[in-house]
Amino acid sequence: MKRTIRTVALGLTLAASTTAAQDMMRGVDLSSPDMVTAEMTRQDVEAVLAKATAAARADFTGKKLSGLDLSELDLTNAIFRAARLNKTKLVGAKLDGAVLDQAWLLAADLTDAKLKGASLFASQMAGARLNGADLSGARIAADLTGASLVGASIVGARLGADMRNQSMGLMRAVLRSANLERLNARGADLSRVDLEFASVKGADLTGASLKNALLGGANLTGVTLIDADFDGADLGSARLIAPIGLDRAKNFSLAKNLDRLIKE
């Protein structure tokens, strides 16, 4: 019962702190044992997975799993709500349909991981590595500041703010200063997403919504923009060099700060 109360309290604390620009790290001691240690081994995790069923999903809510090597594990539909996975290795892991809401994955390694349809709401993922990861169809309202998603896929994923449900503040993906080179973002919802100073070189934004997105200082060299919607997007100081399909982009003339856009 006490553990349940502590977990609920943690969830409420994390949710409340998202009000101010999704900053859940304010006042948190990132060097504390809660954030850097693990209370389970890989074998313990495997034992929980072995007992999981479609009706009773593997549940790691609130667990301390930082620093573990969980690479290649099948964690499909597992629940990691408010879990701590800082610097955890999840290389090649299967996390399709997993719930990672309010989870801590600071500097976690999810290279080539599968996260199709996963839920990443209010997740803290600054500095995480998701190179080659598949997040197609996922709900991503996470802080991915400085993260690397080189060659990753967010096809059809929802990273934008749902303006019908913003009781906790503006919840959307933050990809500020992230490496998004060769990202496949076809049909992704990137509305109101923070992409300031991100490197988006060679990314495929075909059919993506960039409505009211923040693209100040972003490097958009060689991006594919066919049917991408720029209505209200802020392009101040962004570099748009040799784009593909700019003439077929939607509402480009309605973007903000076009006079400050760097084009060659």
Structure confidence by residue, pLDDT tens digits, 145-165:
999 999 999 999 999 987 665
Cα gap 213→53, rounded to integer Å: 40
3-state secondary structure 57-109: CCECCCCEECCCECCCCECCCCECCCCECCCCECCCCECCCCECCCCECCCCE
Q: How confident is the model at residue 24 (pLDDT cuts 50, 70, 90)?
A: low
**Phi/psi of residue 253, nearest 5 degrees:** -70, -15
pLDDT of residue 239: 98
User: Are 132 and 110 a contacting pair, CB within 8 Å?
Assistant: no
pLDDT of residue 4: 41
Q: On the CB side of 31, how many CA atoms lie within 13 Å of its CA?
A: 0
pLDDT of residue 161: 82
Q: How confident is the model at residue 256 (pLDDT cuts 50, 70, 90)?
A: very high
Structure confidence by residue, pLDDT tens digits, 166-189:
555 568 999 999 999 999 999 999
Cα gap 237→263, rounded to integer Å: 10
Rama region for 161: left / alpha / beta (φ>0; ψ in -120 to 50; rest): beta
pLDDT of residue 1: 44
Cα gap 8→49, rounded to integer Å: 23
On the question of pLDDT at 142 being above 60, the answer is yes
Rama region for 201: left / alpha / beta (φ>0; ψ in -120 to 50; rest): beta
pLDDT of residue 31: 87
CB count within 10 Å of CB 167 equals 8
Cα gap 165→151, rounded to integer Å: 31
On the question of pLDDT at 14 being above 70, the answer is no
Q: Global pTM? A: 0.89
pLDDT of residue 170: 66
Average pLDDT over residues 131-135: 98
| Residue reference for tokens 């594990």 | 73
Structure confidence by residue, pLDDT tens digits, 69-84:
999 999 999 999 999 9
On the question of pLDDT at 6 being above 50, the answer is no
Quote helix, strand, coil % in the chain, to nearest 5: 15, 20, 65
Average pLDDT over residues 228-242: 98
Q: Give the distance, in angstroms, between the CA of residue 157 and the centroid of all CA atoms in the same chain.
A: 10
